[in-house]
Chains A and B, each alone.
Chain A
Amino acid sequence: MHLPRIALLLAGCLAAANAVAQALTCPPPPAGRPCEAFHYHVSMFRPDTRAFTEIYGGPRFATQAACERAREQQVSANQKVAGFFRDVKKEERYQPDRFGACHCDMTEEKSSVTFLTESQRTLQLRMTEEIRLRVRERLLDEKITSDSELIRALYSDPPVTPTLGAPKLVPMPTVTRAPIVTVADDLKPTRTLDTTKPTVVALDLPILEIGAPASPPADVAASSPPPPVPTPAEPPVEETRVEAQPSVEAQPDPQPESTNEDTQTAEETAERFISYETQRIQNVLRASSAIADENVKTKIFEACMERIQLLSNLRLLIEGSGMRSRLATAARDAQTEADRLALVSRLFGDSVKPHWAPSDASDVVFDIESSIASEPERALRDSTGRFTADQKKRALYLVLAQTQPTEDQRLWLSTVVEGLLR
């Protein structure tokens, strides 16, 4: 009867000795293979037998750091319990648990000596809980209350990442309709429009030299329609002074169409403004005919041609941007000469203003700095701050004066102009 007891005792002693001797680690993984999980072994002290039991089927961790944190937490909790028995209750034979270092968990590696089947792992879990319960029982026996810090320390589990506990069926997010981004570049331009420049007609028809009348003047019958009212002859140009203001007859307001009143009105505005300015530049041209210096004359002619191109483009912008656009509104409101020049100044800068309505024909000519003149569109599009606002206005003058913008460019130019007038 005593023999088995002694044998058991010996076996227990041997097991305890083994536990002490154990390194509390798994064999290392094969070289070069990354570690997928970390854990630590615990040699748990069982108070009833005073033996140690090695547990290595506990929690697994994705990182060494997480493993270390959990281990430290458990070491600290266990020290409180062991400290209670050793220091308060003076049970010197009560041992704290022994914790191995965090290392690569090989308990799922079949070739490893520490491999655990599911049932072996469950057995280890059960063993852990039985030892904990025995410690709990000892603590309760020592009149430690069941909600005390010491009892809670027995069951200190690592904190759980909250994100992982999110519900499996997630409600649809509240759909806030994202604004639909529409840029004109999404669209295709129409190719059905005749984009050829208007040509001068009847160029092949000769202008006749008229010396003496080729045919005798006709005897105009009373029944014949009256001859067209002759255009009053211009007085000979004596100097290069330009008429202060062109005289363009005010046109009656057209009756707006019920369908697209806006466009009609914008066209009307464009017609009024541009006609006035066209007449102004024609006055300049006319005045330039009195200049003897051919070089100056040529320069004036070129400046006037550019101005005419600019006015043509400006007309398209006014018409295209609609009646309520800032451009059309400003053009419509520009009733006096001062208003017109103010608008010109806002669009093309103060430096262009004196050349817009020159008192002398030669003043229509002006130069713009080469940095802008070489690539005006680039200057206008620049967003790096390399060009000042005034330089950009001059660039706008050049773009309008020297190019025939495509529809897309006109769209962009409208935006630029609206910006200048904001």
Chain B
Amino acid sequence: MKAKVKRSKVKVLARLAAVLLHFSLLPFAFGQEAAAPNTEEEFTKAVFFGKKFADLGEYNSAQEQYAKADALKPDQPAVLYNLAVVLARAGRYSDAQVKVDRYLQLFPEGAEKVNVAKLQLELQFQRELQKKRQADQEYADLFNRAKFTYARGELDDALRLFRQAEQVRPNDPASVYNQAIVFEKQGELTQAIGRYRRYAELEGDLDLKASIDERVFTLQREVDDMRTKIVCSFCGRKLPAGAMWCERCWHGPYPVQSAVWNSRPCVEGASATRATYYSDQRFNKNDILPCLWKDGTMLESLRYSAARQRAIQDARKAEGWMYQGDVLQGNREVQYHQGADYLEKVTSTTGGEILTYLAHAAGVGAWLLDREDLVIDASRYTNQYTYDASGRIAQQRVDYQNTAACNHLIAMTADYAYNGDALASVAIKGGYEGYVPEGAPKTDWQANVAYAYDDKGRVTNEELTVTSLIKTYTQKPIGALRDEVGRLYAGMRVKKPVESVQRTGDVCASAGATLLSNPIDLRPFYAMSPNLAIQLPNGVTKAVVTFAYPP
């Protein structure tokens, strides 16, 4: 009986357990049946949308859809493949590579294997391309920075950056060309030429090469000119080094090799002092002569450069002078009459003066004056030059009427003597014959200029001595003029040299308390020396210029 009851209890418990099990598993079973079709549907929808977006070129949206599909059903080979493709098309190459790697790991022999291999190759190429683009970008940044810097006028920095650019890409002609431009702007023409030549080597375009050849030729000529030419300090004209005058304005002289003309350099320790003495040897005064050549020598101070030429021309233009090309044409007041080869005449539209010039050629581009009119302190002088075989002044004759005093017609001559290349001495004489009413005075004087040089060929001493001054009245002055002359020279006797003339100077008349005189006027001999082209005060018969140079 007990066994029967026990079996029936077991059966009841088994049934109960079965029922409980059934009910406990039911929701799972139902749940599974409800979820499966939903996921599939979402998956299908996602892959469909992904394809549609991809077809539209909307790769980001396509990627989102495939990513959703991948989340719903991970690691489906076609989904992985499509995801990789749209990621690649969207430009997300590293993400695409992750998908490709995943695919190859899971499905090395998958159906999409061939396309995946192509994609893999494409992604490798894109990595290379990206590296190149990054390098491009870095180079473009460097290049643009250099251009910006150049545009701001910071030439040193621009040059540095273009040089960096050349180091990065040695075969880029642009960075080399731009260096040449910077060098040109800096006035470093030789270096600019070097860069242009390198550019021509790199440049493939034949037209551009040809234009660079022309540019190099022009610059080379400019460099040559900088070595061999000077500028006229008045009009800026380019002249051969050593030209005595500028033939387009007749300013000068520019004897750059002359020791006399290089005797006043603007350098520490250099000085020039002119002492003058009366006929009785009494000291008159010292004149400290200002230095002339800022760059040490006449040649360096006048050496041609485009910038220097431009500066001179700009200065003249600011003063109202006009140019035709590089040739001076005059200003509002005076007109330059330029002949075929040189300035032939200067006329004034206000005063009506006419200054005439005659010249002859002396080598390429150099002209020597044969005759010139010169105005100094409102008096007009006429200079006539003769030259030796080397084109140096051999003799100069000066004629003028001293309108500042008694209107005497005065003539002077200077004879130049050279020792080798150096000016050794100049013998000057002058005089005039006065007019009958004033007693027909006859005046003659002689002077000598002597030069001394040191062992370096520099002038150490320049000495002017008036060796004689003789004035003789050849007849009696008439009427009231006799009284006037008597006051000028108390003991004057006709046909006897005036004894006091060296002490008093050559006085000829009075204007109230002022005595009018004919001083020894060496200013027209401006080509002789910058130190002694002076008018000697009455009674002064000696001038000594001493020079000092730095050791």
Which chain A residues have a beta carbon within 8 Å of chain B's beta carbons?
36-38, 60-63, 65-67, 69-70, 122, 125-126, 129-130, 132-134, 136-138, 140-141, 145-147, 151-152, 155, 157-161, 163-165, 168-173, 175-180, 182-184, 186-194, 198, 200-211, 213-215, 217-218, 220, 224-225, 227-228, 230-231, 233-234, 260, 263, 282, 286, 289, 319-322, 407, 410-411
Contacts and interface: CB of A to CB of B under 8 A. Distances in A.
11 contacts: A62-B348, A63-B352, A137-B478, A169-B530, A175-B308, A182-B151, A205-B119, A207-B62, A207-B86, A217-B73, A233-B46
A140 B481 contact: yes
Contacts of B119: 202, 205
Given A180-B153, A228-B98, A210 B479 contact: no
Interface residues of B, number: 137
Contacts of B513: 147
Given A38-B352, A220-B106, 18 more contacts: A62-B354, A63-B347, A67-B352, A137-B437, A137-B480, A138-B480, A140-B481, A160-B375, A180-B155, A182-B152, A188-B177, A202-B88, A204-B118, A214-B112, A218-B107, A227-B74, A231-B67, A407-B144
Interface in B36-68: 44, 46-47, 50-51, 54-55, 57, 59-64, 67-68
A245 B465 CA distance: 100
Given A159-B351, A194-B133, A231-B68, A168 B312 contact: no
A158 B140 contact: no
Given A155-B407, A165-B376, A169-B253, A130 B435 contact: yes
Contacts of A155: 403, 407
A197 to B, nearest CB: 11
Nearest to B311: A175
Contacts of B61: 286, 289
B307 interface: yes
Interface in B103-162: 105-107, 110-112, 115, 118-119, 122-123, 125-126, 132-133, 136, 139-141, 143-145, 147-148, 150-153, 155
Nearest to B40: A212
B89 interface: yes
Interface on chain B toward A: helix, strand, loop, or mixed SS?
helix
B374 A168 contact: yes
Contacts of A164: 334, 346, 348, 351, 353, 355, 375
Nearest to B93: A201
B261 to A, nearest CB: 9
A172 B299 CA distance: 13
B81 interface: yes
B26 to A, nearest CB: 28
B122 A175 contact: no
B252 interface: yes
User: In this complex, which of A160, A202, A224, A320 has the most chain B Cβ atoms within 10 angstroms of its Cβ?
Assistant: A202
A176 B310 CA distance: 11
Given A190-B143, A214-B111, A282-B60, A165 B175 contact: no
A189 B174 contact: yes
B375 A179 contact: no
Contacts of B474: none
A368 B300 CA distance: 64
B311 A137 contact: no
Nearest to A131: B437
Contact of A172 (B88, B136, B301): B301
A234 B64 contact: yes
A215 B511 contact: no
A244 to B, nearest CB: 21
